[in-house]
């Protein structure tokens, strides 16, 4: 297993990316190709130590795509950008998967441009796992790749998300729900109202109807289907909420008696465990479903731990053969529709 890593994306590049790659190589035994500025990457590797014994190579790329560039223009123009080069390594079968923590828009554009869509899928979707109270994971598809989705895009999100949940997360017959503002059929905006009946008549998934926002953390559903605009807002709201609750609790403890401070110290492991569960660094990265290859999108503020975990996710995604499963299902669906 050989993973191409865009070493120049993310708020903490290249240092944290390099450190995460080192950890992944040592812990999982995969090969990693760090793509980006040779000098900068080498400097970080040297600072770490004797990296030449590790299964790490550097692939030089002279350009960087920044957060404020128009994604598709940048990807087409900057042919030697780390993101573009890393993606090319997968297309040329020199690597099995690629991960990037740069701009999500640029990642989606690079994946579309470099690897292309799976035949029959019109739009890609990011599948982000969210931990739930039921002790499992709820997959949010799409959490930001495609906005203004048509109903058929949401149908594809449902099929792809279901295959991801089954083959990567090991959920048997995952329950698929449509994110909506009420339980009953007929509720919601035009998009939701048009999508509901299409999902209902789909044989290849276990559709359980509408899911409301609260069903995601409660784990009443395994795969939540939505437009990338809604999914992205929800995901970032959740991140902000967890971080705000932490801040409020810390603030309160700071202003409390010594007893509360002591109690907080005793409870710290429990609180940390909870915080860890909700931390995006733990899941590392989210696959871009619908792309003809393994492309993993990481959070822009990924640190070493997130990159390490994203490399694990990339390998799992490749091994699970979800891309091939999606291809087979979409052909099947097309045949059914034509019968």
Question: Contact residues for a copy of itself (CB under 8 A)?
Answer: 68, 70, 105, 132-133, 144, 147-148, 179-182, 184, 186, 188-190, 192, 212-218, 226-230, 232-245, 247-249, 252-253, 256, 259-260, 262-267, 270-271, 273-274, 277-278
Shortest distance (Å) from residue 276 CB to a copy of itself = 11
- Cβ(311)–Cβ(21) below 8 Å: yes
Q: Are 84 and 78 in contact (CB under 8 A)?
A: yes
As a whole number of angstroms, the distance between CA 123 and CA 318 comes to: 20
Q: Which is nearer to a copy of itself, 118 or 298 (CB)?
A: 298
- CB-wise, 204 or 253, nearer to a copy of itself? 253
Would you say 35 or 192 has its CB closer to a copy of itself?
192
CA gap 148, 171 in Å, rounded: 29
- In angstroms, give the least distance from the CB of 60 to a copy of itself: 30
Q: Closest CB to a copy of itself among 204 and 278?
A: 278
Give the Cα separation of 182 and 207 in Å (integer). 16
Closest distance to a copy of itself from the beta carbon of 232 (Å): 4
Structure tokens at 330: 């979409």
Distance CA 287, CA 125 (A): 8
**Cβ closest to a copy of itself, residue 47 vs residue 268:** 268
Dihedrals phi, psi of 12, to nearest 5 degrees: -115, 25
Give the distance, in angstroms, between the CA of residue 152 and the centroid of all CA atoms in the same chain: 21
Smallest separation, CB 329 to a copy of itself (Å): 27
Q: Which C-beta is closer to a copy of itself: that of 1 or that of 274?
A: 274
Whether 125 contacts 157, CB under 8 Å: yes
Hey, how many other C-beta atoms are within 10 angstroms of the C-beta on 148?
10
Give least dist CB 237 to a copy of itself, A: 3
> Smallest gap, in angstroms, from Cβ of residue 91 to a copy of itself?
27
CB 159 within 8 A of CB 326: yes
At its nearest, how many Å lie between a copy of itself and the CB of residue 250? 10
The residue assigned the tokens 């996710």 is: 313
Which of residues 249 and 331 has its CB atom nearest to a copy of itself in the complex?
249
Question: Residue 197 belongs to what H/E stretch?
Answer: helix 190-200
């Amino acid at each position: 297993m050989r993973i191409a890593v865009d070493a120049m994306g993310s708020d903490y590049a290249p240092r944290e990316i390099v450190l995460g790659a080192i950890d992944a190589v040592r812990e999982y035994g995969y090969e990693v190709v760090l793509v980006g500025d040779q000098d900068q990457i080498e400097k970080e590797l040297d600072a770490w130590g004797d990296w030449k014994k590790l299964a790490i190579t550097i692939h030089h790329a002279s350009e960087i795509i920044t957060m404020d560039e128009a994604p598709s223009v940048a990807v087409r123009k900057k042919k030697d950008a780390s993101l573009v080069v890393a993606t090319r390594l997968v297309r040329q079968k020199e690597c099995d998967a690629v991960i990037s923590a740069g701009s999500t828009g640029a990642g989606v554009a690079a994946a579309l441009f470099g690897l292309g869509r799976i035949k029959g899928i019109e739009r890609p979707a990011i599948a982000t796992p969210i931990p739930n109270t039921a002790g499992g994971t709820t997959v949010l598809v799409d959490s930001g790749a495609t906005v203004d989705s048509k109903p058929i895009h949401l149908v594809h999100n449902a099929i792809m998300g279901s295959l991801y949940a089954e083959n990567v997360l090991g959920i048997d017959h995952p329950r698929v729900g449509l994110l909506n503002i009420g339980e009953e059929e007929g509720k919601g905006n035009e998009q939701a109202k048009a999508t509901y009946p299409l999902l209902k008549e789909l044989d290849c998934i276990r559709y359980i109807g509408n899911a409301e926002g609260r069903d995601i953390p409660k784990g009443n559903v395994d795969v939540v289907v939505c437009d990338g605009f809604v999914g992205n807002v929800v995901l970032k709201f959740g991140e902000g909420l967890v971080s705000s609750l932490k801040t409020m609790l810390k603030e309160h403890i700071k202003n409390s008696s010594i007893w509360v401070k002591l109690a907080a110290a005793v409870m710290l492991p429990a609180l940390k465990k909870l915080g860890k569960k909700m931390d995006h660094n733990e899941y590392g990265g989210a696959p871009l479903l619908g792309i003809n290859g393994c492309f993993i999108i990481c959070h822009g503020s990924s640190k070493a731990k997130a990159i390490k975990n994203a490399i694990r996710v990339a390998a799992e995604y490749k091994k699970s053969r979800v891309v091939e499963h999606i291809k087979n299902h979409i052909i099947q669906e097309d045949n059914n529709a034509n019968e």
